[in-house]
């Protein structure tokens, strides 16, 4: 009995040892890869493998038999320092070999899983496709009843092709879709360069999906406004420090480009300024009281008294003459 037990233990140990040194095959989903379409090829980036040396092979069927030999070749460099598998055509399975470990990945080339180099570049440059400058515009400068009213607002001035036509959608934050778009745009400008290639493509797909969503909503709800005089002004009811996302569209011929601009309101209302007025006022000046004037007043009083006495005497004379 002891001999049988010893043999069983020995067999188990040998089996474990053989399995440990044999190449292993695991099957993963499409979630572990990013597929990028070039003009002629497909570049397959495997998660956590961009900075590692590995080999790969392809097949149109799932191979799980050790008797079938796979033609493994070295991973290629994408000229940006990332290792990847390069495919000339679509295949069903990708086999990745690192050391003695072999993993199998089922490939899915549908539109959701494949992104082109042009689409990646489009997202990476989404805030630079249409040239604009921040401008301060005097929106109102008028005089009402001799009071000057002046108002300046911020906006965007398009400094791009004047032969193209431009439309825009301006959305005040917070807003579900546009708040998320603002967040991703800020991450694109601040965090994107620090990501590995797998995470970059994952981010681009997320951004592209959200951007397409807001564009489709703008189209279906007819939200586009025509840009006039190559300027986009903030809304009239805005307040200082309000935040907006501007979805900008440029059309020239058959080519259409989209751009995302982030705006922070800068409204200045100048306090009413009353113009200087010249008002004419009539003043009545009184003669000042001095010693010479008192003498004149005295002489005038004597003359008046004398006239009164003469008047009384004349009246008495007439009265006596009647008697």
Whole-number average pLDDT of the chain: 80
- The DSSP line for 177-210 is HHHHHHHHHHHHHHTGGGS-HHHHHHHHHHHHHH
Q: For 125-129, 224-228, 273-277, 300-304, which range has the lowest pLDDT when averaged over its residues?
A: 273-277
Average pLDDT over residues 35-47: 96
Q: Return the closest-CA partner of residue 160 out of 136, 185, 133.
A: 133
pLDDT at 289 over 60: no
93-98 and 55-59: which strand pairing?
antiparallel
pLDDT tens for 159-202 read: 999 999 999 999 999 999 999 999 999 999 999 999 999 999 99
CA–CA distance, 303 with 222 (Å, rounded to integer)? 100
CA–CA distance, 123 with 191 (Å, rounded to integer)? 14
pLDDT at 25 over 60: no
Question: How much is the pLDDT for 77?
Answer: 95
247 phi/psi in degrees, rounded to 5: -95, 115
pLDDT tens for 146-158 read: 666 666 777 899 9
- Domains for the chain: give ranges and CATH numbers: 19-109 (2.60.40), 120-273 (no CATH)
Q: Return the closest-CA partner of residue 59 out of 49, 68, 50, 48.
A: 68
Quick one: which H or E segment has residue 305?
A: helix 291-322
| pLDDT interval class at 135 (50, 70, 90) | confident
Per-position b or e across 188-225, b if 16+ CB within 10 A of its CB: beeebeeeebbebbbbbbebbebbeebbeebeeeeeee
Q: Which tokens go with 70?
A: 């796979």
pLDDT-above-90 percentage for the chain: 55
**DSSP type of residue 82:** -
pTM above 0.75, yes or no: no
101-106 and 24-28: which strand pairing?
parallel
CA–CA distance, 246 with 172 (Å, rounded to integer)? 9
- With a CB cutoff of 8 Å and minimum separation 6, the contacts of 179 are 173
């Amino acid at each position: 009995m002891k001999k049988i037990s010893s043999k069983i233990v020995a067999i188990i140990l040998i089996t474990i040892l053989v399995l440990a040194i044999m190449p292993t095959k695991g099957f993963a989903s499409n979630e572990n890869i990013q597929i990028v379409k070039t003009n002629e090829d497909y570049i397959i980036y495997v998660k956590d493998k961009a900075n590692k040396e590995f080999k790969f092979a392809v097949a149109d069927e799932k191979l799980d038999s050790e008797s079938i030999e796979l033609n493994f070749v070295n991973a290629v460099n994408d000229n940006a320092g990332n290792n990847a598998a390069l495919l000339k055509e679509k295949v069903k399975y990708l086999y990745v070999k690192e050391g003695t470990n072999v993993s199998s990945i089922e490939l899915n080339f549908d539109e959701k899983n494949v992104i082109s180099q042009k689409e990646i570049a489009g997202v990476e440059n989404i805030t630079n496709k249409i040239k604009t400058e921040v401008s301060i515009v005097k929106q109102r400068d008028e005089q009402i009843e001799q009071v000057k009213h002046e108002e300046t607002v911020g906006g965007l001035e398009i400094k791009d092709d004047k032969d193209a036509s431009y439309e825009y959608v301006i959305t005040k934050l917070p807003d579900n879709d546009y708040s998320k778009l603002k967040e991703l745009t800020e991450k694109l400008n601040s965090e994107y360069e620090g990501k590995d290639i797998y995470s970059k493509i994952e981010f681009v797909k997320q951004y592209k999906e959200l951007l397409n969503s807001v564009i489709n909503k703008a189209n279906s709800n007819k939200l586009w406004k025509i840009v006039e005089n190559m300027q986009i002004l903030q809304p009239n009811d805005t307040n200082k420090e309000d935040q907006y996302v501007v979805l900008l569209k440029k059309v020239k011929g058959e080519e259409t480009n989209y751009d995302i601009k982030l705006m922070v309101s800068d409204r200045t209302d100048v306090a009413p300024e009353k113009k200087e007025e010249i008002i004419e006022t009539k003043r009545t000046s009184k003669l000042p009281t001095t010693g010479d004037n008192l003498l004149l007043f005295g002489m005038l009083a004597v003359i008046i008294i004398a006239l009164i006495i003469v008047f009384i005497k004349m009246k008495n004379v007439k009265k006596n003459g009647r008697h």
